[in-house]
Structure 1
Amino acid sequence: MERWLALELASTIRHDGDGGVADDLATVRGTGHWIQAQADLLAVHVAPGEIAVDEGLRSEIIELRRAIRALFARTVSPAPPSPADARRLMPADQAIAHINAVAAGEPVVPQLDWPSEGSPTALLQSPESNLRTRLMATLSRDAIDFLSGPQREHLRACAAPRCVRYFVKSHGRQEWCKPSCGNRARAARHYRRQRLTPEGGPAL
């Protein structure tokens, strides 16, 4: 399954396994670990090991995440958005402006790369940008690609109890982001059925 930086960033807000919500970007150290975990997706544009993560960069990434999650909520509408931030979403027009502004922070020039025994590919080069700017621009450009591409039509908010993740639906009947969420949702439905009387009314 294809991975998207935008979806990975949105998923740094997640169910903590104990009825609450965890934030993988809650600390500078956690943010650094998350950037390292995305090394395979970032490697074409950024060397994660060379980026110095501080509170300023953490705040920038969190603000970009707010914008992405706001537009994810708009995408899944009229279905309910993730309950993690449904009541405090950034306005959609502000989210669009923010993502575009961050993407524009790194001027890039497309370059053609065509090895003698391979297929041609397009590379984006920006020799003048610093690593922090390149990281933020890479994250925002991935969000633009995601939201403007066909995968947007398959974005869903997981409907399992207590889950706050968004996911890309990979088959027609998929309702949950992962099997454990499906198991939890089925258990919740079974519990609700058990509370009904044989006649279908609520138990006394």
Structure 2
Amino acid sequence: MQDATHGATRLALDLALTIRHDGHGGVADDLADPAALTAWVAAHAEDLPDTAGRTVDATALAAVHALRAAVRSLFAHAVRPAEPSPADAARLPPLPEALRRLNAAAARTPTVPVLRWTEDTGPVVDRRPVPDGDLTAALAQAAISFLTGPDRQRLRACHAPRCVRYFLKDHPRQEWCKPSCGNRARVARHHERHRKTVG
């Protein structure tokens, strides 16, 4: 169960992180075309076993883009009262629309009853998804698992200059997604203090 939870957390976070700083003051999209999404899905085959190996078309790409916007909107909501990632905060769908998109995508996978029966518990019915390979449904379900799980409490937006990433806070003093962002933030603060004392 822990592995499934970790996989869902990683998958949801990795989807959000396909929006990144481009190194030139703008924002880049790692899922810019169907080939890029096909490669991303292949790289996440362990967490997307029913969709791995498939070629993604423009329709699937548009669906994943809409889902990613919803996930980033929900991430922005989850980190409140802190500021969200500046990458797309002004362009994200409002919370009700983000929830509608996420839930609609998750509902694309039908479920079937599965009977479990042990000597200790007697018969129990679980509902399990039918593996039909719907990419957006798998991604939406991973996002729901993450947003309702314990890792959501550790979600933060990195506010280092030029960074647009979300990350999971691993220790109490962590402020940035990676050490290079911390270095950029310290350098920027130093330059700002120096500019104020000189000016």
Matched with 1:157 is: 157
- How is 1:1-204 mapped onto 2 (pairs within 5 angstroms)? 2=6, 3-43=9-49, 46-49=50-53, 51-109=54-112, 111=114, 124-126=128-130, 129=132, 131=133, 133=134, 135-197=135-197, 203-204=198-199
Structure-2 change in CA distance of 1:144 and 1:175 (3 Å): same
Q: CA RMSD in A?
A: 2.2
**Is the contact made by 2:41 and 2:51 (CA closer than 8 Å) also made in structure 1?**
no
The residue identity in structure 2 corresponding to 1:48 is: A
Secondary structure of residue in 2 paired with 1:14 = strand
Deviation of 1:25 (Å): 1.0
Separation (CA, whole Å) in 1 of partners of 2:129 and 2:98: 26
**Is the contact made by 1:14 and 1:164 (CA closer than 8 Å) also made in structure 2?**
yes
Secondary structure of residue in 2 paired with 1:32 = helix
Separation (CA, whole Å) in 2 of partners of 1:123 and 1:38: 25
Task: Map Cα deviations across residues 30-50 of structure 1 (whole Å, 9 max, x no partner).
Answer: 11111111112223xx2411x
Secondary structure of residue in 2 paired with 1:41 = coil
Task: Map Cα deviations across residues 1-31 of structure 1 (whole Å, 9 max, x no partner).
Answer: 9452111100000012232211011111111
TM-score in terms of structure 2 length: 0.85
Structure 2 unaligned runs (5+)? 118-125
Deviation of 1:180 (Å): 1.1
The residue identity in structure 1 corresponding to 2:90 is: R
TM-score in terms of structure 1 length: 0.83
Secondary structure of residue in 1 paired with 2:89 = coil
Deviation of 1:158 (Å): 0.3
Separation (CA, whole Å) in 2 of partners of 1:89 and 1:62: 11
**Is the contact made by 2:114 and 2:128 (CA closer than 8 Å) also made in structure 1?**
yes
Aligned residue pair count: 185
Separation (CA, whole Å) in 2 of partners of 1:66 and 1:54: 19
The residue identity in structure 2 corresponding to 1:41 is: D
Deviation of 1:110 (Å): 6.0
**Is the contact made by 1:113 and 1:123 (CA closer than 8 Å) also made in structure 2?**
no
Secondary structure of residue in 1 paired with 2:28 = strand
Deviation of 1:112 (Å): 7.2
